[in-house]
Amino acid sequence: MNSVYLDNAATTALRPEVIERITNVLQENYGNASSTHSFGRSSKALLEQCRKNIASYFNVSAAEIIFTSGGTEADNLALRSVVRDRGITEIITSRIEHHAVLHTAEQLQTEYGVELKYVDLDDCGLINYTHLEELLQSSKKAVVSLMHINNEVGNILDIEKVAQLCKTHNALFHSDMVQSVGHYKIDLKEIAIDFMAASAHKFHGPKGVGFCFVRKESGLKPLIFGGEQERGYRAGTESIHNIVGMDEALKIAYANLETEKKYVSDLKAYFIQQLKAYIPNVGFNGGCEDEVNSTYTLVNICLPIAPEKAPMLQFQLDLKGIACSKGSACQSGSSQNSHVLTAILDESMLSKPSVRFSFSIFNKKDELDYVVSVLKEFVNS
């Protein structure tokens, strides 16, 4: 049976170089970075070198990089702290954010009474910047939280424009950049953003590690208390091998960014071409077909299938060895659709099965041909 992995927006395979680097650190640098003996100092030196390296990719200072367990913790660190410690009374976000942001914002509304405001979206799920500006004009103590790249439909936010709007109206700006770090160049010296979340396993690094960019003099305080690790922002012994693995993965990603971006972009374009050729009525959710407003790493498609056949789609793909993500919960029998698709699709589209396919440098065109053939067979059966 063929085995095709097209769920890279969920997680990616580790690069061989990353595995090798992690293994070496596990064997040779197992000291606690907070210990003062030679083993601890060796780990501490590695830790701070990784911090400097990672900061350099985003043109910020090492002190502004706080290591976390991943994007979810980084989102929580920023949003919970600004409400608790900076007196933020309004959170401006969208209904298609990752649940790490949406559920955190809802919890903050319950705990602190903050007002949640949702910016309007167009039919493709793109942000209405005019409405965002209107919300900012009527706000006093607000934080804007909008993701750079949507993890389900791939829409790209004009991050510079939002940052400038926030600066103009004295609002803080947080962005979940989990889907863009390692895939796009991001100069945080040029973009007036206050907080950014990233996760290593989205760019061929290990799971369980990420970081939060925290702009200097942000006034944030820790959420996790204990020791003084991570400049006092995040207590707990640092996972040196994972941090080193993240650094290695990011180094390789940015060293090969243009070459790998073109390779993956060509895969996406080829996949769209083949889908249109063999499944004429296929639909593309959000702006994922748009080369300008959508990321090159994924597509989210809606298949012309009768509702009664939809529950079998995910099962059939898995049976054929194809790993992907459902774009709509109708395949699984769940009572709830994807919150992203629910926000942007009408009922007729939601009744059809949607699937997200996401690509990496480890994919090949013959794999895509196989996937299209399986989809065609299912649609026409």
**pLDDT single digits (tens) 348-375:** 788 888 999 999 999 999 999 999 999 9
Residue 121, pLDDT score: 96
Question: How many angstroms separate the first and last alpha carbons of the chain?
Answer: 20
Q: What is the pLDDT confidence band of residue 307, given thresholds at 50, 70 and 90?
A: confident
Residue 220, pLDDT score: 84
101-159: pLDDT as tens digits: 999 999 999 999 999 999 999 989 999 999 999 999 999 899 999 999 999 999 999 99
Stretch 27-48: mean pLDDT:
96
Query: Of residues 249 and 335, which shows the higher confidence score?
Result: 249
Catalytic residue among 50, 166, 324, 330: 330
Residue 88, pLDDT score: 96
Stretch 53-68: mean pLDDT:
98
Residue 327, pLDDT score: 63
- Top CATH class of 257-380 equals alpha beta
200-227: pLDDT as tens digits: 999 999 999 999 999 998 888 888 899 9
Place of tokens 């994007």: 71
Mean pLDDT of the chain: 94
Provide the token pair at 160: 């510079």
Quote the CA–CA distance of 169 and 161 in Å, as a whole number. Answer: 13
Return the SS3 of 224. strand
Quote the CA–CA distance of 116 and 94 in Å, as a whole number. Answer: 10
Percentage of residues in the chain having pLDDT higher than 90: 85
Check if 166 is active-site: no
Q: Residue ranges per domain, the chain?
A: 16-255, 257-380
Stretch 35-41: mean pLDDT:
95
Which CATH number, 3.40.50.720, 3.40.50.300, 3.40.640.10, 3.10.20.90, labels domain 16-255? 3.40.640.10
The DSSP H or E segment spanning 195 is: strand 195-199
